[in-house]
Structure formats: C-alpha cells, structure tokens
Structure 1
Amino acid sequence: MTGHRVTVPESPADGAKPKGPQSYFPSIEAKYGRPVQEWLDLVADRLDGDGHMEVVGWLKEEHGMGHGHANALVAFVRRALGD
C-alpha cells in the first residue's frame, strides 16, 4: 500500500511519450519544484469537497500554477478516482 489515493504512473517501458494529462507532469515538476506525487495528493484531498474548476482555481491562485498544468492534474486525479 502506497498511502496515496492516486499515484504517478510509471513511464512507458518502450520510451514512448505519455499522452493526455500526464504529458504535462515533467514540466509541472520542473516549473513548480515539487514532485507530481505531492500535487496529486493535494488535488485528491481537495476534490473531496470542491469541484473540478474550484480545484483548478485553487492551484492557480494559491500555488501560481498555469491553467493547463492545473487542469491536467485535476483531470488526471478525477479520472484515476473514477469521477
């Protein structure tokens, strides 16, 4: 058990580039200086009480994240949680 509700997916073994929201993960780590797993944990917790756009807004306002990066994290977590 990892203790995480949503975990960062492993990179494809064949070296293929990730598609969809996870294609943003390397640039999110580089730009905001925190591992993606931390962002996924924060988003998963926040989605317990807030909707998609509320969490996107929170990431933008409180953490200075761009809309595309924030939306990618929220979309990935929602999909992983089956929302």
Structure 2
Amino acid sequence: MTEPVQGPASYFPSIEKKYGRPISEWKSMIRASELSGHMELVAWLKAEHGMGHGHANALVAHTLKEDAAG
C-alpha cells in the first residue's frame, strides 16, 4: 500500500483541478516572479490568479522548500 501524500503536496490535485494548470506550471510562475518572500508570493497568487489562501500557501511553501534543498 502506498502512503497517502501529506503536507503541501496533498493540495496539488485540487489545485490542478480548480485552477486548470499543472503544478509544474505554477512552480515555474512562482520561480519566475520578481517576488521572493513567502507571503508576497502568496498574496500575488491570490490577487493575480484568484487562488485561495490555502492553495497559494501550499504551492509557495513546497516550491521554496524545493529551491532551498537545492
């Protein structure tokens, strides 16, 4: 049996379904943004793309963690 996905990635299927873009595209957009702070990026996703706070927070947290890991 496979362990269920936990943490920010658990939101990914609903983000793709609700906002119509693959997670890889959202991550590319976050990385291409001139913004760098977590909450700045969350606010940008909410304001510019109509994303809910939880979804935006999950995407930003996961992307920044990936980038920090190298």
Task: Using structure 1 for the length normalisation, give the TM-score.
Answer: 0.76
What residue number does 1:65 align with? 51
CA shift, 1:64, in A, is 0.2
What residue number does 1:6 align with? none
**Structure 1, unpaired ranges of 5+:** 1-13
Q: Return the alpha-carbon distance in structure 2 between the equivalents of residues 49 and 20 of structure 1.
A: 23
CA shift, 1:45, in A, is 1.8
Higher share of residues assigned helix:
2
Contact 2:35/2:41, CA 8 A, preserved across alignment? no
Give per-residue Cα distances to partners, 1:4-52, cap 9 Å, x unaligned: xxxxxxxxxx432211110000000000011111001111222x54311
Q: Return the alpha-carbon distance in structure 1 between the equivalents of residues 39 and 20 of structure 2.
A: 23
The counterpart of 2:8, out of the listed 7, 21, 28, is 21
Aligned length: 69
Task: Using structure 2 for the length normalisation, give the TM-score.
Answer: 0.89
The sequence identity of aligned pairs, in percent, is 55
Give the AA of the match of 2:24: Q
